[in-house]
Amino acid sequence: MKYSIFGESHGPAIGVLLNDIPAGVTLDMEEISLEMGRRAPGKSAISTARKEADVPEVLSGLCGGFTTGAPLCAMIKNTDARSGDYSLLKRFPRPGHADYTAAARYDGFADMRGSGQFSGRLTAPLVFAGAVAKQLLAARGIFVGAHIAAIGGIRDIPLTDGGFLKDKTAETVLRAAARKELPVIDDGAGEKMREAIAAAKREGDSLGGLIECAALGLEAGIGEPGADSLESLISRACFAVPGVKGIEFGAGFAFAEMRGSAANDPMEMADGRVSMRTNNNGGVSGGISTGAPLLFRAALRPTSSIAREQDTVDMEERVNAKLVVPGRHDPCIVHRAVPVIEAAAALALLEAVQKLYGIRGLCGRRQ
């Protein structure tokens, strides 16, 4: 299933086109709606005040609740656009935003109202596509879930701790986290994160964080070495999410200070099946799934839009300038990015699975 996102924040609509989708799959639209709700803005004090229905209209590829096998296009109309807020961006590019790079790339013609195609709003169709991917993966027994690993230095319990990764426990805690406003395992940590976000907001500032994502139930043997390794596919998809600036699998950056004797995951027979005693490699070896839970973490930079005055340039007068970014700001988007990272991971995994089993291998019916 290939996906292609389109739209600009304040244009007529945003959306996604899905190709190579199996026919005859029942899409659970309520489930998709719930996924999109997890990402949606406007729910609380810690998110932007912009309110959008974000109801996707399926334009094609779905008939009577079943996929038809034709390209599936889902569109979300932009209803709460306030273009006026952003009129000075071309002259005074916002630090940390893509205003300046977009001008260079698109020769001054990018539609930057509401940050245009760089807006976090474009992650809504990505979550839609990811929700479809998740349902297809679920039919093969694969679950993808994530939680906030840290915000502003405050850490949630890692999945690798506390035995969560006896698969079903991890799924349970991740499903529980998904229902919370701040998707964490440890509610105490969540409460502290909320306070930290509120404090940053009061100070006209913003916070970054970490997201930990797991895929459970993935059989051994998915993926391949080289540029279609699972790490390659997943990292590519995750770096398409605005604000992601780092990704690591398993022990990741900690490997740099480990020795091979500690890093290698010892293998053992358990109930007649091969398993790994540790999972330092995050469920991927040689670019291929090991059968252990796939585990990665993504680092997100603090939201670029802050209320404080910042140093920038005046592109017209070619002099230095001060800027106070107008408009509505999220002091933190890490919690809203959790379903987006899940979506990116699910889409990447589906690509690897589909390469091996084809479109028909995903239809959830017997061949």
- Binding to its own copies (CB under 8 A): which residues in 14-43? 14-15, 17, 19-20, 23-24
Would you say 309 and 322 are in contact if contact means Cβ atoms under 8 Å apart?
yes
Residue 67's φ and ψ, nearest 5 degrees, are: -65, 145
Cα dihedral: 87, 203, 54, 10 (round 10): 10
Q: Cα angle at 332 between 327 and 334, to 5 degrees?
A: 135
91 is in an annotated binding site: no
- Binding to its own copies (CB under 8 A): which residues in 304-363? 304-306, 308, 310-313, 315, 318-320, 354-361, 363
Q: Cα angle at 300 between 343 and 313, to 5 degrees?
A: 120
Q: Which is nearer to its own copies, 120 or 145 (CB)?
A: 120
Q: Under 8 Å CB-to-CB from 160, ≥6 apart: which residues?
A: 279, 295
Among 218, 237, 294, 337, binds its own copies (CB under 8 A): 237
Binding pattern to its own copies, positions 134-153, x when CB under 8 A? ----------------x-xx
360 is in an annotated binding site: no
Q: What is the DSSP string of 312-325?
A: EEETTTTEEEEEE-
Q: Which is nearer to its own copies, 48 or 305 (CB)?
A: 305
Q: Which is nearer to its own copies, 143 or 229 (CB)?
A: 229
Q: Which is nearer to its own copies, 165 or 323 (CB)?
A: 323
Residue 61 C-beta: closest distance to its own copies, Å: 7
What are the CA-CA distances from residue 114 to residues 81, 128, 322 (Å)?
Answer: 8, 21, 20
- Binding to its own copies (CB under 8 A): which residues in 246-275? 246-253, 255-261, 263-269, 272, 274
- Binding to its own copies (CB under 8 A): which residues in 54-93? 57-63, 66-73, 75, 93
Residue 162 C-beta: closest distance to its own copies, Å: 21
Distance (Å, whole) CA 359 – CA 313: 51
Residue 84's φ and ψ, nearest 5 degrees, are: -55, -30
- Residues that bind its own copies (rule: CB under 8 A) add up to a total of 148
User: What DSSP character marks residue 115?
Assistant: G
Q: Does 366 bind its own copies (CB under 8 A)?
A: no
Tell me the three-class secondary structure of 153-171, residue by residue: CEECCCCCCCCCCCCHHHH
Residue 86 C-beta: closest distance to its own copies, Å: 12
Residue 172 C-beta: closest distance to its own copies, Å: 26
Binding pattern to its own copies, positions 174-213, x when CB under 8 A? --------------------------x---xxxxxxx---
328 is in an annotated binding site: yes
Tokens at 146, concatenated = 């994530």
Residues annotated in a binding site for FMN: 286, 328
